[in-house]
Each structure stands twice: as C-alpha cells, then as structure tokens.
Chain A
Amino acid sequence: MNGAHDMGGMHGFGPVVREEDEPLWHADWERTVYGMQRAIRARGIINIDESRHGIERMPPAEYLAASYYERWLSSLERNLVDKGIIGEDELVTRTAELAEHPQTPLPQRDDPELRRLMTDQPSGQELYQREGPAPRFAAGDRVVTRNVHPTGHTRLPRYARGKRGTVHAVHGCYILPDAHAHGRGEQPQPMYTVSFEGAELWGPSWEPRERVYIDLWESYLEPNTEESGA
C-alpha cells in the first residue's frame, strides 16, 4: 500500500541523529512488546508479512508520531483483533481497568513448550525459502518494474515503480509477501536483486555515480524491451 511507511526518497526528516550509548530498551514496556512479538511469531499466530502490514495500516499521522515499539504494539493489537484472538472491546475494557488500578498484578504462566519454540528458532531458509517455478529472468537481463499501486502489502517501494533496471542476482523462490500478508497462502516466486541507476530513480541525479539495489519478486517485473534503459 502507498502508506507513510514507504519513505525511500522522502524529504524533510532532517539529519540522521545518533545517540552515543543508547540503551537497548528505552522503557520496560518495549521489552515486553518485543517478547510478545517473538512469542506470537514463534507460535505461528501472526506471520512476518502480516506483522509488517499491521504497522503499515496505521493512520499516517499516527505512524509518523509513534516510536518504533509503539508501531510494533499497534501492529500486534490490529492483527490480534483482526484474527479474532482478542476482542476490540476486551482490549478497551482491559486498558481502562488497568488505568484505574495500575497495581493489578499481571497473570503469570509458565510455558516451557513456548520457551522451547522461541529458542529453537527455525532457520531463515526454513521460514522463507520454498520450492517454486523456474526463474523467468537471468542475471544481466534488463527489466522494468510494474507501475502498480496495490492497496495491500507489497515490497516494491513507490520510488522504484515503473523504473528500468538490471537483474544483478537471481535467488531461489521466496514466499510472496503480497499474498502471505493477506491469508492467501505462500505463493512462492523467484526473487531477484535488481539494480537501478540513481538517475533512473531520481531524475538528473544530484549525486553522481549511485546505484540502488532492491530485492524484488518476479511478479513485480516485466522484461524491458526498449533499446535504452538502465
């Protein structure tokens, strides 16, 4: 979707600010959100693509005002409610109760099986790579990205739509985020790293000799049949 999250090339965010000795967690609740996220993903209740899309669906003004872990929390809430695991009313009521009585002890539960799931993490290969169709493109092929604007989840950034590039590397098949985020199964497709000249993306580039490399699924690409093009 063309959300606020898709920020490659946006202006106005100012300099990159660095904290010198930043703590890992700025507050206790952040650690809890991180833990909940890990536990829920370990259980397969929400997948990574749904997780990301949950963040993307935040209203833009909220997205831009939220901190990193606030975004994760928002995504968790949105996905858990959408999947019917918690009720929206429940969330509202429970929040109000805790606001009234902040000293209420939290439920405790020991779950060795869950702990095992969380520590025995499957490999990236197991999680994301799949058998799938043979690749349509080869390294060196000239391609052009489709000018599509899906309202759902995609990993084709806006700045790279309808742009001419060259296939830099051909990877195996990966789960397609556009399908997986919406309960439409894995639909694995060949995935490619495609390079784009800076000038192709940004117009007469104000920075010389720049190339941007993006990982793109086959359905994002068409062959570039023009004579010219990057």
Chain B
Amino acid sequence: MSVQPDRQIADMEGGSALPRKNGELVFDAAWEARVFGMTISMHERQLFAWNEFRDELIDEIGEADRTGSDSTYYERWLEAFEHLLLSKGLISQEELAARLEDFESGRRDDAF
C-alpha cells in the first residue's frame, strides 16, 4: 500500500472533520468514497495544497449552513472540490458541463 494517510487530512477538526463513527470513516454511499479518494489522490500529486481545498470546504460548509441547506458533508465536499478544480484551471466549466451531459443522457456509463 503506497498511500499513507496524511494526518492533516485524517485529523481535521471542527466542521470540516471527516465524518466518523467510533473512529471509523463513514461513507453513506459509494460515490462519497470516490469523491474523497479523487480529491486526496490529486493532492498527493501536489496539484494543490491541502489548505486550498480545506478553505473551499470550510467556505462551502459555512455557505450551506447560512442558507439552511440540508446538503450532506460529502455533497459540500464535491461542491468545494469542483470549485477548486475550476479556479485552478484544472478543468473548465464547459468540459464539466459536457461530461455531465454525457452521463445524464446515457451516452456514457463508466463506472469505478
């Protein structure tokens, strides 16, 4: 196993803490784990600093709380991650929209 958990990620505290139960990470659906994995895999490649993502996450959580949204932790994570990818130019708005269209229409059905 070449991945060692990064303590600054695993041990985040406060509102941005990873959801856990008895110390174990909790993913309510498979997609949540995938999104988690994607974000960290790109951080491992040094495509962004952790605090850059974490700041986005904190902002997203704050915004959601302010508007009384009932979105879940990983829904907010996904928003934050997309935001980060776009602001760093790693993906473009057009690419993202087009790919989503591909999947929604059923033209593509890749699974992971």
Interface residues of A in 20-38 (CB under 8 A from B): 21, 23
Tell whether, in the assembled complex, residue A119 and residue B1 are in contact, meaning their CB atoms are under 8 Å apart: no
- A115, A119, A121: which has the most chain B beta carbons within 10 Å? A119
Contacts of A23 in B (CB 8 A): 1
Tell whether, in the assembled complex, residue A115 and residue B1 are in contact, meaning their CB atoms are under 8 Å apart: no
Nearest-neighbor residue (CB-CB) of A23 within chain B? B1
Cα of A119 to Cα of B29 in the assembled complex, Å: 12
Q: Per-position contact with A for B1-25: 1 when CB-CB < 8 Å, else 0?
A: 1000000000000000000011000
Tell whether, in the assembled complex, residue B1 and residue A21 are in contact, meaning their CB atoms are under 8 Å apart: yes
Cα of A23 to Cα of B21 in the assembled complex, Å: 22
Cα of A168 to Cα of B21 in the assembled complex, Å: 32
Contacts of B95 in A (CB 8 A): none
Tell whether, in the assembled complex, residue B1 and residue A121 are in contact, meaning their CB atoms are under 8 Å apart: no
Nearest-neighbor residue (CB-CB) of B22 within chain A? A121
A interface: dominant SS: loop
Contacts of B28 in A (CB 8 A): 115, 119
Cα of A35 to Cα of B68 in the assembled complex, Å: 35
The answer, yes or no, to whether B26 is at the interface (CB within 8 Å) is yes
**Distance (whole angstroms) from the CB of A9 to the closest CB of chain B:** 33
**Distance (whole angstroms) from the CB of B81 to the closest CB of chain A:** 23
**Distance (whole angstroms) from the CB of B104 to the closest CB of chain A:** 20
**Distance (whole angstroms) from the CB of A114 to the closest CB of chain B:** 12
**Distance (whole angstroms) from the CB of A34 to the closest CB of chain B:** 12
Q: List 9 A-B contacts (CB under 8 A).
A: A21-B1, A23-B1, A115-B28, A119-B21, A119-B26, A119-B28, A120-B21, A121-B21, A121-B22
Q: Per-position contact with B for A105-129: 1 when CB-CB < 8 Å, else 0?
A: 0000000000100011100000000
Nearest-neighbor residue (CB-CB) of A21 within chain B? B1
Interface residues of B in 26-63 (CB under 8 A from A): 26, 28
Cα of A115 to Cα of B1 in the assembled complex, Å: 28
User: Nearest 7 A-B pairs (CB), nearest first?
Assistant: A119-B21, A119-B26, A21-B1, A23-B1, A121-B22, A121-B21, A115-B28
**Distance (whole angstroms) from the CB of A22 to the closest CB of chain B:** 9
Cα of A115 to Cα of B28 in the assembled complex, Å: 8
Contacts of B22 in A (CB 8 A): 121
Cα of A171 to Cα of B45 in the assembled complex, Å: 51
Nearest-neighbor residue (CB-CB) of A24 within chain B? B1
Q: Per-position contact with B for A1-26: 1 when CB-CB < 8 Å, else 0?
A: 00000000000000000000101000
